[in-house]
Amino acid sequence: MALRRQPLSAPRPGDTRPAAQRLAVPLLLLLGLQGAAAAGGPEDSGWLQDAEPSSRLLSQAARAALHFFNFRAASPSALQMLASVLDGRAWVNQKKEYKFDLVFTTEFYSAEEGEKRLGKCSAQVFFRNEKPRPSVNVTCTQLVKKERRQKEDYQLYKLMKQLKSPLNAVSIPDSHGYIAPSLRPIWDLAFLGSSYVMWQKTTPFLHYYMSQISSVKQWKTNDDAIDFDYTVLLHEFSTQEIIPCRIRLVWHPSKPLKVTYHCQERQTPEEASGAEDGSAVAPTGLSNF
């Protein structure tokens, strides 16, 4: 299960890192010392607790946890999004590791009007050395019973199977924010795949939202899986950059999700810069591109 990943490109001349990253050192100085002991760990790595973690910081960490949760659940009909953070604590140490302890509420991603249901999650999120792909430990209350979830996933699966390939669908949602009901399953599946990518790319300073699907294709597979190839535009908040990511996912209800992706990072003034690849559950027979 090899994870192929290029190291993040080092800052180039004129390439301004997100402002938040420059906060790292002064942040250490600003943190209220709350004793060296962090909750839940006898090992003393010199954790300093942030006396007043900003709600923004906690929300970002909660979202990262949710991306991971949604990916692991692999259920496009039961995607959840952040409602609000109920409680959160943050620590950082001199090794520039960040730790978060969170309790937050969630809502259905595809909630229809009137179908407001709040779930609750607790999570621990750990960033090593300001790097992306945090370790996440997350448990959520079950918003939907397993049977219903499986049933709806299967319905979505059947809908996708019936779609003609190639789909030739572009821009979901359209410029006016509209998603045609027939395209809704595509959006949900894309969000599922994007959740993996967004979790992979999130750092203490970079956090992502899915903006738009800019192209989509569906490939045939020999087994019964949905083989789904699409380009999604991710929005990174602190740099405001739009990052196109080509994502390929292979999905079958109640089976682990297989995702490969290739994101195009922002150009420098001279040339298009590097790219970031990743894959999960390295599939046999599928190659990276």
Partner 1 sequence: MKWILFFGALIGSGICDRETFSGHQVFRINVRNGDEISKLNRLVNSDNLKLDLWKSPSAVGHPADVLVPSFSLREVKSFLEDHGLEYLVAVEDLQTVLDNEDQQMQHNVRQELSSNCFNYGAYHTLEAIHNEMDNIVKCYPHLASTVEIGHSFENRSMYVLKFSTGEGRQRPAIWLNAGIHAREWISPATAIWTAKKIACDYGKDQAITSILKKMDIFLLPVANPDGYVYTHTHNRLWRKTRSINPGTTCIGTDPNRNWDSKFGEVGASDNPCSEIYHGAHPNSEMEVKSVADFIKNHGKFKCFIDLHNYGQLVMYPYGYTTEKAQDADELDMVAKNTAKALASLSGTQFRVGPIATGIYRASGNTVDWAYDNGIKYAFTFELRDTGHYAFTLPADQIIPTAQETWLGLKTIMEYVQDNI
Closest approach, Cβ 116 to partner 1, in A, equals 10
User: In the complex with partner 1, which residue's Cβ is closer, 209 or 219?
Assistant: 209
User: In which residue are the tokens 């908040």 written?
Assistant: 237
- Residue pair 247/234 in contact (Cβ under 8 Å)? The answer is no
User: In the complex with partner 1, which residue's Cβ is closer, 100 or 109?
Assistant: 109
Separation between Cα atoms, residue 230 and residue 154, nearest integer Å: 21
User: In the complex with partner 1, which residue's Cβ is closer, 21 or 221?
Assistant: 21
Q: Which three-class secondary structure state does DSSP give residue 244?
A: strand
Closest approach, Cβ 165 to partner 1, in A, equals 25
Residues that bind partner 1 (CB under 8 A): 14-16, 18-20, 22-23, 54-56, 63, 81-82, 84, 109, 171, 173-178, 209, 211-212, 233, 235, 237-242, 266-269
Separation between Cα atoms, residue 14 and residue 86, nearest integer Å: 40
Closest approach, Cβ 224 to partner 1, in A, equals 31
User: In the complex with partner 1, which residue's Cβ is closer, 204 or 253?
Assistant: 204
- Residue pair 155/168 in contact (Cβ under 8 Å)? The answer is no
User: In the complex with partner 1, which residue's Cβ is closer, 234 or 250?
Assistant: 234
Examine residue 173 and say whether the peptide bond preceding it is cis (omega within 30 degrees of 0).
yes
User: In which residue are the tokens 């890192």 written?
Assistant: 17
- Amino acid identity of residue 240, one-letter, is Q
Task: Please compute Rg for the chain using Cα positions.
Answer: 20
Closest approach, Cβ 181 to partner 1, in A, equals 13
Closest approach, Cβ 240 to partner 1, in A, equals 4
